[in-house]
Amino acid sequence: MSESKLAGRFFDAAIGLLGRVRDEESLNVAAAGTLIADTVEAGGRLFAFGAGHSSLAAQDVVYRAGGFALMNLLAVPGVVGVDVMPATLGSALERVDGLAGAVLDSSPAKAGDVLVIISLSGRNALPVEMAMNARALGLKVIGVTSVAYAEGTRSRHVSGTFLRDHCDIVLDSKIAVGDAELTHDGIEAPFAPASTVVTSALMQATMAAAAESLVARGIEPPLLRSGNVDGGHEWNGRVMAEYGDRIFFRH
């Protein structure tokens, strides 16, 4: 059986993007990690939000082995992944004005916390208003987005701004407008999106930087272990008990 040339091309494209974000976003990743470490040390809470497929990278750092126990998913009903029916409803809800404010007002997030907002395009009302409202409440905002969209598309928010315009720190995924890495003769549409791979890597790199910053201060990072290794449940039970007032995915 011969190898797939298109599969190889996708791996090459994804590896190239990962190399770019490693080299070009290293200072921003370190800054984001430091901000998260500052918040953990100060007794604050951590939240992550993403809509549609951007939610995958947010969920990737919530309640998982090797991750921070303090990272909570800020869920907006109907836009977390593609579990809503019809799936197109999730995309429509991203453009609804006022939804972000309602979600934040009813969430446990408060001044001094950190909210990571993941939006590939950063152009829809939901991520823009989420960032604006979060900062108005006194939260620090880390935006994970593709700056190319802000330079090559129009905002769908009434302000004309993008997610990147309302963040304390921006992590640029370098994904091209359209989020498709490959083209091929006989295939009409571009295909093979890499945003999930790259955005998830940015999130995990940021959490690694946060762990590094905490341990440099003599603080044990609040990490979870796998429940599938001996002693994992006991370890996690201790972490959950110690930080229970800052963990909301159990309630």
The list of the chain residues with pLDDT below 50 reads none
Give the pLDDT of residue 89.
Answer: 72
Give the pLDDT of residue 186.
Answer: 96
Give the pLDDT of residue 80.
Answer: 76
* Cβ within 8 Å of residue 147, ≥6 positions away: 164, 170, 172, 174
Give the pLDDT of residue 101.
Answer: 86
DSSP strand pairing (140-145 vs 169-172) = parallel
From 3.20.20.370, 3.40.50.12780, 3.40.50.300, 3.40.50.10490, which CATH number describes the 5-246 domain?
A: 3.40.50.10490
Give the pLDDT of residue 182.
Answer: 97
- pLDDT tens per residue, range 20-50: 999 999 999 999 999 999 999 999 999 999 9
Helix axes 26-41, 5-24, angle to 10 degrees: 60
Give the pLDDT of residue 1.
Answer: 67
* Cβ within 8 Å of residue 175, ≥6 positions away: 17, 120, 146, 148, 194, 195, 198
- pLDDT tens per residue, range 180-219: 999 999 999 999 999 999 999 999 999 999 999 999 999 9
Domain ranges of the chain: 5-246
Quick count: other Cβ atoms within 10 Å of Cβ 197?
Answer: 20
Output the CA–CA distances (angstroms, integers) from residue 142 to 135, 139, 166, 168, 174, in the order listed. Answer: 10, 10, 9, 6, 16
Give the pLDDT of residue 158.
Answer: 84
Give the pLDDT of residue 191.
Answer: 97
N- to C-terminal Cα separation, the chain: 50
Give the pLDDT of residue 251.
Answer: 62
